Amino acid sequence: MQVFYNDRHPLHHGRHEMFRGELVPCFEVPERADFVLQALRARAIGDIVAAPGIGIDVLARVHARRYLEFLSTAWDEWVALDPRNAGRDALPSYWPIRTFRSDVLPASFPARMGLFSFDAGSPLTAGTWEAARWGGACAAAAAGQLLAGARSAFALTRPPGHHAGHDFFGGYCFINNAAVAAQCLRDGGMRKVAVLDIDYHHGNGTQAIFYERADVFFASVHGDPLTEYPYYLGHADERGAGAGLDCNLNLPLPKGTGFADWRKAMDFALRRISAYGAEALVVSLGLDTFEGDPISGFRLASADYLRVGEDLAAAGLPTAFVFEGGYAVADLGLHTVNVLEGFLQRA
């Protein structure tokens, strides 16, 4: 399996996120990807390579041009507001929710920061754009492998992507890597593509990007948004719209769900993906379903991830894995490698 490793990921290194009225240290830290890289090397999984660069046009297949333009200049604009900002992360303070306008692009940088985001937990730093766009390149390269006939590939990158929408960041995500991979598969000739999101959190960005499309099926198993982040999307009655009706499947599960019930949900999603007729699969691989995750509530154990990989392989589709969440940092390598090993043994 080719592993496209984003070696620019440490350029995105948030210090603090806003959490219930105070700035707390970030959970989404560079060490996350370092532990996965170490484990891949230790267990000799995959051929670890760099992704070739991509143009902005590839990202613009799933993201708005004005959003990409914003991301590319955001740090410089933040520092221009106040030179002392060079020493602190950029976080939004204002959001244009219901009754406000989002069609007029504000000249004010803090106002644009809010227009293009949905929470204050996702610090934007000096190297965020560089790290995030190279993550998109890793996802595109993983898709390219499948188009060239490979059974699987892995985009190992951070920041993660599945909360990022067409024109917004949030949930530690800026560029939607899984959406980039799915779109690249479509543009490369795959007629029907599925994204299966097994991160603890609902992939609201990916869902929204493909919600009205019949050519990309989105399925997600996640903590019930009534109690879990991102709260405002991910309910079972969201089935897609327009041409995309019934091309969206949400399987919310209560906090505390263990592997047996979680596995039934994932296998149901895989059956729906098979019935849909997908020619390729993108897996949003979050490892925050682990029982030891500090901010999540499912109860998967380390060995369960081998079974996850096996079940994914049994679906029989060319599969691109894209790294998402997971905050039990020291265990992330083991869990990621278990999924990939289970997959490779069964593939």
162 is catalytic: no
Contact between residue 116 and residue 168 where contact means Cβ atoms under 8 Å apart: yes
Closest CB to ligand OKS among 176 and 183? 176
Closest CB to ligand OKS among 241 and 330? 330
Q: According to the binding rule CB under 6 A, does residue 229 interact with ligand OKS? A: yes
Which partner from the list ligand OKS, Zn ion, none does 171 bind, CB cut-off 5 to 8 Å by kind?
ligand OKS
Contact between residue 27 and residue 129 where contact means Cβ atoms under 8 Å apart: no
Tokens of 50: 């760099």
Which partner from the list Zn ion, ligand OKS, none does 321 bind, CB cut-off 5 to 8 Å by kind?
none
Q: According to the binding rule CB under 6 A, does residue 223 interact with ligand OKS? A: no
CB atoms within 10 A of CB 192: 17
Tell me how far, at minimum, the Cβ of 225 lies from Zn ion, in Å. 12
Helix axes 177-187, 128-147, angle to 10 degrees: 40
Which partner from the list Zn ion, ligand OKS, none does 238 bind, CB cut-off 5 to 8 Å by kind?
none
Can you tell me which of 4, 35, 70, 172 binds ligand OKS, judged by CB under 6 A? 172
Distance CA 197, CA 250 (A): 10
Binders of ligand OKS: how many residues, by CB under 6 A? 14
Q: According to the binding rule CB under 6 A, does residue 228 interact with ligand OKS? A: no
Q: According to the binding rule CB under 6 A, does residue 19 interact with ligand OKS? A: yes
Among 9, 13, 63, 163, which one carries the catalytic annotation? Answer: 163
Q: According to the binding rule CB under 6 A, does residue 135 interact with ligand OKS? A: no
Q: According to the binding rule CB under 6 A, does residue 293 interact with ligand OKS? A: no
Pairing of strands 22-25, 16-19: antiparallel
Closest CB to ligand OKS among 19 and 109? 19
Sequence-distant (≥ 6) Cβ neighbours of residue 95 within 8 angstroms? 114, 115, 117, 118
Q: According to the binding rule CB under 6 A, does residue 325 interact with ligand OKS? A: yes
Residues that bind Zn ion (CB under 5 A): 199-201, 286, 288, 325
Sequence-distant (≥ 6) Cβ neighbours of residue 152 within 8 angstroms? 1, 145, 146, 318, 319, 320, 321, 343, 344, 347
Can you tell me which of 121, 159, 223, 318 binds ligand OKS, judged by CB under 6 A? 121
Closest CB to ligand OKS among 15 and 191? 15
Q: 30 preceded by cis ω (within 30°)?
A: no
Buried b (16+ CB within 10 A) or exposed e, 292-325: ebebbbbbbeeebbbbbbbbbbebebbbbbbbbb
Which partner from the list ligand OKS, Zn ion, none does 121 bind, CB cut-off 5 to 8 Å by kind?
ligand OKS
Active-site residue list = 163
Residues near ligand OKS (CB under 6 A) are 17, 19, 121, 163, 171-172, 199, 201, 229, 286, 288, 295, 324-325
